[in-house]
Homo-oligomer: A and B are copies of this chain.
Amino acid sequence: MRIDVIGSVNEIIAEEAANKCVVVIDVLRATSTIVTALANGADGVVPVETVPQAKQWKQPGIWLGGERYGKKIAGFDAGNSPEEYTGPAVRGKKVVLTTSNGTRAFFKAHRASCILAGSFLNLSACAEAVKSIGRDTMIICAGGQDRFALEDGLCAGCLIERLHNMHGTHLQLNDFGKMLHYAARHTTTDLVKLIRECTGGQRLRQLGFDKDIACCARVDLYSVVPVLDHDHIIRPFSGTKVAS
């Protein structure tokens, strides 16, 4: 299996994603939030690009979530903190989500065969899904403010390590993927500490979202793997919904 890792949303070239399995990783916080919402029983997550598009969805049974500049948007039900997406809040509802960066990656990779959402929260489950799909894979580190984000790179490196350790999965990595794999494999520092010190972590702390960092660093808390369905709604991966 070939795995290419991309360092930011801006580096996505649509043709290169064509027919691949794509994994979008935005640890702080879009994909952590999507995983949490589905794990807590939301009836799908609709990624949308703009705030006006999100507002058009407003009706009973819809949970509007998202952020701009890290903060909750006026009139929305929630911001982008995973812990806002509890069972009582989102169960049975459709979550409409717009974030500055993470949701964009789903649109830019639209030519992929399937698009999964990866995070530390569903790391092993995500690796299992990638293996079961069995296609050449592109991992997109969504990054922040158009730059590579350390927490996404570490998560990608850990995902590669999971795949590497799976019996029968022979990986061909691009140079960037190799680098992330080395780094993730050998980093012994506490994950929460690492994320608190990186650019995105510092920014969240400044905005008062320090507790989101520990929340997003819980490895394998959930077994759900979000996948973008053909109707552009993200639902749990069941292993049977991948385009051929």
Contacts and interface: CB of A to CB of B under 8 A. Distances in A.
* Interface range on chain A (Cβ under 8 Å from partner): 20 to 34
A198 B175 contact: yes
The copy count of this chain in the complex is 2
Interface string A36-50: 000000000000000
A56 interface: no
A199 B175 contact: yes
Interface stretch (A74-82, A95-103, A105-113, A143-151): A143-151
6 contacts: A147-B176, A148-B179, A153-B175, A174-B199, A180-B183, A183-B183
Question: What is the predominant secondary structure among interface residues of chain A facing chain B?
Answer: helix
A145 B19 CA distance: 23
A186 interface: yes
Nearest to A200: B175
Contacts of A198: 175, 178
A170 interface: no
Interface string A150-181: 10011000000000000000000011101110
Interface string A191-214: 000000011100000000000000
A175 B150 contact: yes
Contact of A175 (B149, B174, B176): B149
A29 to B, nearest CB: 16
A182 B179 CA distance: 9
